[in-house]
Amino acid sequence: MAEPVHGVLFDKDGTLFDFAKTWNAWAEVTLMSLAEEDRSRATELGTLIGFDLEACAFDPTSEVIAGTPEDIARMLLPGLPGRTLDNIEFEVNTKAATAPQAEAVPLGPLIDQLRALDLKIGVATNDAESPARAHLASVGHEQSFDFIAGYDSGFGGKPGPGMCLGFAEAMRLDPDHVVMVGDSTHDLLAGRAAGMRRVGVLTGMAGQAELTPYATVILPDIGHLPDWIRAESATTA
């Protein structure tokens, strides 16, 4: 018999927000800025992070998809002689804070449904906390979440379990009463390491075959989550 669900922890990019609509635009702006508006040089930088500047699209295997800003800065460093890792990371984060956000599903109604189920809700992202808060604030939902953590919030990044365990502790919940929801194997591995159920969603770059080995269930998007939670709760009654 499954344990009742009392909390939901969401990944951000590719889960709450459409990955391509947000990060393809960010990558183009960031690469052009780092290349001092030299498009040829920006194209070369793009190859370092698995981004095709002409197509304005990431390769599905790019480490950027589940990586942290520090990871991205480290990938770009060889192409930016004279720049430091910290300097590049600062620019990555600065540009990320203003990246356009496209909700994967309308978040207001979803949050209302989850609150009606008396659930604690949080966000755990490999983005930095400050841009993450800016992204949620830009759609009017920073205050809608009980917990928001980035890779720099003191819990470590995914696939480590730190943010998941931090949410459970902050909300005073047992991890097996929490569901981790994400679009990448990093999200699902983090949830598994924390002892949580894992919901994979298909609004990121990973497909069902890639996510299935690590997920309790695969859903098309987070809009299907309340019905799944209701069904899980029914099995505990």
Domain count, the chain: 2
Predicted structure pTM score: 0.89
Where among 97, 132, 162 does a domain terminate? 97
Residue 144: closest CA among 195, 98, 109: 109
Instruction: Please tell me whether residues 162 and 190 are part of one structural domain.
Output: yes
2 part of a folded domain: no
Instruction: Please tell me whether residues 84 and 136 are part of one structural domain.
Output: no
Per-residue pLDDT of the chain (237 residues; tens, 9 = 90+): 578 999 999 999 999 999 888 899 999 999 999 999 999 999 999 999 999 999 999 999 999 988 999 999 999 999 999 999 999 999 999 999 888 899 999 999 999 999 999 999 999 999 999 999 999 999 999 999 999 999 999 999 999 999 999 999 999 999 999 999 999 999 999 999 999 999 999 999 999 999 999 999 999 999 999 999 999 877 765
Q: How far is CA 34 from CA 40, 60, 76, 131, in A?
A: 12, 23, 9, 19
Burial class (CB in 10 A: 0-12, 13-18, 19+), 50: middle
Residue pair 7/168 in contact by the 8 Å Cβ criterion: yes
Where among 29, 64, 97 does a domain terminate? 97
